Amino acid sequence: MTDELRVSRSDSPQSVSVRPGVGRSLAAARWCAGRGWPVHPLAPGRKTPAGNCTDCREPGHTHRGCRCVAAGRWCHGFRAATLDFARIGQWWGANPGFGVGIACGPAGLVVVDVDAHARSLPGRDRLLPGIQIAETVDLTGLANGFHTLGVLAALRGATNPADDASTLRVRTPSGGLHVWYRTRGHRWQSSVGSAGGRALAWQVDVRAHGGYIVAPGTVTEAGAYEPLDGVREPAPLPDWLARELERTGHLPPAHVPAPRPVPPRARQAVLAAGGGSSAAGRALTALLAEVAACAAVPEGAGFTEKLNRAAYTAGGLVAAGLLGDEDAERALTEAAAHARPGQERRYGAVIRGGLSAGRRRPLVLGGAHDLR
């Protein structure tokens, strides 16, 4: 191609030099495609996909079985996204007013979409789904997604993605922020509002499989999508945020297998503490079996939740003097390694956190088992 975008790692899409005869949107589309991000046209001045052809607008018509994409048309938005430079040249060459959208799933992107809309505060149970906020907590000043995301990060002892200077961040015309991350093999699902019953936080959407994101540098009637100064490439998705996405249902549903036998070395660690035949040993063994069963399902098996519960229980057994500390950690590590080999950083943090929390509540056996 003779017309191409000249770009270095420090460039942003709206500041790169464009060869004569190449429209800015075309240059931006090629810039994105050159990074492996499939692109599709957005309607001129809008952040929505360019319209379908007449046939595709017929009532009841869907993208399934539609021949338009194969024929080189942009019908059906992000489902038509492409890396084909010839097709990109045809689309934006003939329509220089088109904006640029990126299909997040095929691009391997997870984008945290933080909104700052002026809306009434919802109930406490909707601010951070799955996390109970006590009535004694003062919510004065909490008004948008920047705040709820900040609270979630603070609870996890992590950097607020909105402040994460290690990755690409794009300011939106409405005052929001897009925080871009690269995925690590998981097929994360999009969420907008409470669509699909999943949500990360109030006024915080997730753009991933099943969705698209507006490319940096795109200009709409409301304004431009402007990268913040600094990094121009997405960083890997942080481990803590991956755990939150899993917790809030951002993985596709999967068949959860029946419990498998506990890996031999994990079982031996429990037996070493003399707990194999005790009520404590049986309780922990059952939980370790659930963790081990996740090996059959790469995603959507609730691995983090199950491992956390097993670690919490093990911590309670340690605190009650019913299990040795080293034996507990060894059993948990063996079961986790069996289910998720090669992910030591991920499951190691879960084990440490669960054990620490469990040690604060000795497991009382007898009439009632404190097994959350």
Biggest alpha carbon distance in the chain?
A: 81
Q: Over the stretch 208-253, which tens digit does the pLDDT of each residue have?
A: 998 999 999 899 999 999 999 878 899 999 999 999 999 999 987 6
Write the class of the CATH domain 106-238. alpha beta
Q: Over the stretch 105-115, which tens digit does the pLDDT of each residue have?
A: 999 999 999 99
Instruction: Give residues with Cβ within 8 angstroms of 133, minimum separation 6.
Output: 124, 125, 127, 139
C-alpha torsion angle, residues 143, 149, 154, 156 (rounded to 10): 150
CB-count burial class (<10 Å; 0-12, 13-18, 19+) for 62: exposed
DSSP per residue, 316-328: HHHHTTSS-HHHH
Q: Does pLDDT of 184 surpass 80?
A: no
Mean pLDDT of 204-208: 95
Question: Would you place residue 315 in the very low, low, confident or very high pLDDT band (cuts 50, 70, 90)?
Answer: confident
Place of tokens 């890996």: 263
Question: Would you place residue 18 in the very low, low, confident or very high pLDDT band (cuts 50, 70, 90)?
Answer: very low
**Residue-range domain boundaries for the chain:** 5-101, 106-238, 264-359
- Residue 150 to residue 234: CA distance in whole angstroms: 20
Instruction: Name the least confident of 136-145, 266-275, 339-348.
Output: 266-275
